[in-house]
Amino acid sequence: MPALADQADPPLADSYRALLRAGNCIAPAPATESLGVLEQDLPMIDLQGLASGDARERKACADAMARAASEWGFFQVTGHGVGRELLEEMRREQVRLFRLPFDAKEKAGLLNGSYRWGNPTATSLRQLSWSEAFHVPLASISGEDCDCGKLCSLRGVMQEVADAMSRVADTVAGALAESLGHRAGSAFPAGCDGTTCFLRLNRYPACPFAPDTFGLVPHTDSDFLTILCQDQVGGLQLMKDSRWVAVKPRADALIVNIGDLFQAWSNNRYKSVEHKVVANSKAERFSVAYFLCPSYDSPVGTCGQPSPYRPFTFGEYRSRVQDDVKRTGKKIGLPNFLKPSTPVDGLK
């Protein structure tokens, strides 16, 4: 690996070896091939159907989305309106950003100090993510104090991508909510606007310990909805029918997945599905994720009563997740908020 990359990469190998020396040598699940994981296309939805002048076509598109959200928790969308040139420009900016020296990324306060790598709370290799990221609140991207270092065009491109993905998220979330009785045209989710969501820039360096290493550990998303643009390297896998399924990349599609808050709001009709990224020994991987989140004090609410969940806010949920991870090393998530008499069937 070139010296420049060595200077840019976070010390993931040091973390890996330290966990081995500490005796935490149980590796993650074996390679995709040894598990017999199948690479599959996710359900494909053309969002142009929602704009059709034919009411039957609009309903068919919305029904297909609701079915995919219920059966898979994941689907792909085309006709999303996010330009390929913009996404390619975002990729170039990401490459430039992540090529900066590790010390600059970690200590210089870039993008409001949103840089993270690996997993500082990992106590075993099953908890180590071979990746680095900038997890940026959208409120800070447009602010004058958003330090992009010498990458003068980065902030503008990020804002364009965030705006475009926000439109996709709002369209999809609105259609899914209306399928469960939410009034058409009214804001959804409550308490969500351009300042409450997040944009995450991910890089997964090539990993010498692949395939027995996670690029990103298995998890569910703590939001309403995630919009993902991934490159063609692959590695994303999701849980379907109690086995891992590898997602086949498609260049013209964005990936949508249901988050924990949408599962709670939908009374478990839509599924927040466990997913992960498998490390690659030969190629680095880039992706951009947009997280549709309400304000911290916003009640998550429900599509109708009776709900299996007690009332809670997004802030309560995030705080409980963080406490659980710190205390046990893993996220518990929605089961913490079930009403006492509610069974946990169907929860991931």
What digits encode the pLDDT tens for the residues 59-102?
999 999 999 999 999 999 999 999 999 999 999 999 999 999 99
Tell which wins on pLDDT, 7 or 147: 7
Question: Counting beta carbons within 10 angstroms of the beta carbon of residue 176, is it exposed (0 to 12), middle (13 to 18) or buried (19 or more)?
Answer: buried
Residue 163 has pLDDT above 90, yes or no: yes
What is the SS3 assignment for 276? strand
Report how far residue 290's alpha carbon sits from residue 299's, in angstroms, rounded to the nearest whole number.
Answer: 21
Residue 281 has pLDDT above 80, yes or no: yes
- At 107 the pLDDT is 82
Q: What residue spans of the chain are helical by DSSP H?
A: 3-8, 12-21, 32-35, 55-71, 84-98, 102-107, 110-113, 138-141, 154-179, 260-265, 314-328
Tell which wins on pLDDT, 76 or 28: 76
Residue 33 has pLDDT above 80, yes or no: no
Please, which residues bridge with residue 226 across strands?
Answer: 257, 291
Give tens-digit pLDDT for 171-194: 999 999 999 999 887 889 999 988
Residue 143 has pLDDT above 90, yes or no: no
Give me the mean pLDDT over the 281-302 stretch. Answer: 96
- At 25 the pLDDT is 54
Q: Which of 304, 301, 294, 291 is nearest to 337 (CA)?
A: 301
What's the N-to-C CA distance of the chain in angstroms?
Answer: 39
Give me the mean pLDDT over the 8-18 stretch. Answer: 92
Tell me how far the alpha carbon of residue 204 is from its chain's centroid: 14
Name the least confident of 29-38, 124-133, 157-166, 318-327: 29-38
| pTM, rounded to two decimals | 0.92
- At 345 the pLDDT is 54
Tell which wins on pLDDT, 4 or 129: 129
Confidence of residue 342 (pLDDT cuts 50, 70, 90): low
Mean pLDDT over all residues of the chain?
A: 89
What is the SS3 assignment for 200? strand
Q: Can you read off the two tokens belonging to residue 240?
A: 């379907």
Give tens-digit pLDDT for 132-142: 999 999 988 86
